[in-house]
Amino acid sequence: MDLVFMSIGGVTYTESWEEALAENATEFADKVAAIAERYNCGIEIDYEESSAPMLAELETFIKRYRVHHPFEAVANPSPPSFLTLDFGQG
């Protein structure tokens, strides 16, 4: 299976991630899940805040995303069921 990921964020967008998470992590997850569905792709959370990440808000985001696209531990999972997280910088 070929799989494409859409990466959301990056080191220069850490503040944007924090703004979106602080404003409404649930609504943000709903929008990201809709993008994954529309483009049939996995999502990489590229939130490169390694010193003080907003873990509670990220957990809210991930749980809400999983409402739309549950993890699929099967032989041929749907692309939107793939969700990765990158905290690393550089």
- Which tens digit of pLDDT belongs to each residue from 9-50? 888 888 999 999 999 999 999 999 999 999 999 999 988 887
> Comparing 68-72, 76-80, 81-85, 86-90, which segment has the lowest mean pLDDT?
86-90
pLDDT at 54: 93
Q: Are 49 and 88 in contact (CB under 8 A)?
A: no
Residue 64 CA to residue 80 CA, distance in Å, equals 13
Confidence class of residue 60 from pLDDT cuts 50, 70 and 90? very high
Residue 88 CA to residue 52 CA, distance in Å, equals 12
